[in-house]
Amino acid sequence: MTIKEKYIRLIGIPLLALAIPFVTSATDYWQSTLISFMYTLIYWQGGWMIVQWMRRRYPRYEQTPKRLASQALIVFIFITVTTPLCMLLFREEHSIAEFAKGWLISMVASFVVVSIYESAYFFHKWRETKLETEKLKREHIQSQFETLKNQVNPHFLFNSLNTLTAIILENPNLAVEFVEKLSNVYRYVLQSKDRELVDLATELKFAKAFLFLHQIRFGDNLQFRVNISEKDLESSIAPLSLQILLENVVKHNIISQSKPLMVDIYIEKNYIIVKNNLQKKTIQESSTKIGLQNIINRYKYLTDKTVNVITTTKNFMVALPLLKIENAYA
């Protein structure tokens, strides 16, 4: 028995014992109160033992209906058997009508007691189950996040090395800068492993390095503009979210001299928006299809603000809420 349950008994039994004679309009109040106290003690203790037994037998949240039905049946049997025994014990003589009235009062009182215990237990199990579900969902999302980080990205690395091979002899200085940016990208992936939020300045620096590598590969066919104030750089964002969005932009759109791709990154109404002109490839690259959904799921655990995905005939936009550490859930 927990300390809380002990206090419930210490307070509940005397209060219920005092209330019953008053409700039944007993002629000798204090004598009735004494007898009521004895009955209440027996029924309360019996009800508590039934509750404990049922908790051990059906402990899980999803077993609540079975636990309630079993408790109701056993309490009914317990009261029906115990009432005449208590009358014999206390040497009370009552008519059938008085017996029925006492049985009914005892039944109602016992169900009230059991309901108090069961309500507290139900709420505890409900909260425990909810927390466990949230934990499992979080672990699943974290697992997806790890998959994404491990994928950053075999194709991206392969293309980067091919680009590096092409420029290493023609422009050694650019090749050195290219290697530095590539190193920064993978260092950031490792550093963000255990973080749920990073400041926008750090994420944006990484995103620019990521875009630089692609620009070396695509040249002027890939262009980007960043319009973010110094004040907004103090906000926070889910790590690697910009990289995932930018990778999707490059992966799913045509980038050529006749169809250059323009990427805009800007702030609007406390959201950071990644926008590109829409020119989908007719043949799409293989994809896990969890990137954008992963971002949406992660933000559900960080804030009550939603990730907005907007597609028009000309543009594709994703708007991510800017967060502050103190107003995030995690």
| Residues forming a β-bridge with 309 | 318
The residue type of 300 is K
Cβ-contact 279, 252 below 8 angstroms: no
Among 1.10.10.10, 3.30.565.10, 3.40.640.10, 3.40.50.360, name the CATH number for the domain at 151-327.
Answer: 3.30.565.10
The radius of gyration of the chain's CA atoms, rounded to the nearest angstrom, is: 34
Nearest to 212 by CA among 245, 256, 179: 179
Q: What is the pLDDT of residues 4-49, one digit of tens each?
A: 666 666 676 677 666 666 666 556 656 666 667 777 777 777 777 8
Q: What is the pLDDT of residues 62-101, one digit of tens each?
A: 787 888 888 888 888 888 888 777 766 665 556 667 667 6
**At a CB cut-off of 8 Å and minimum separation 6, what does 252 contact?**
280, 281, 284, 285
Confidence of residue 262 (pLDDT cuts 50, 70, 90): very high
**At a CB cut-off of 8 Å and minimum separation 6, what does 96 contact?**
none
136, pLDDT greater than 70:
no
pTM reported for the whole predicted model: 0.53
Q: Which long-range contacts (CB under 8 A, 24 or more apart) does 76-83 make?
A: 76/107, 78/46, 78/47, 78/50, 78/110, 79/43, 79/103, 79/106, 79/107, 79/110, 82/42, 82/43, 82/46, 82/106
Confidence of residue 327 (pLDDT cuts 50, 70, 90): very low
Domain extent listing, the chain? 3-141, 151-327
Cβ-contact 6, 44 below 8 angstroms: no
187, pLDDT greater than 60:
yes
What's the mean per-residue pLDDT of the chain?
A: 77
Looking at the chain, the whole-number percentage of residues with pLDDT higher than 70 is: 71
Q: Which residue has the tokens 């014992």?
A: 17
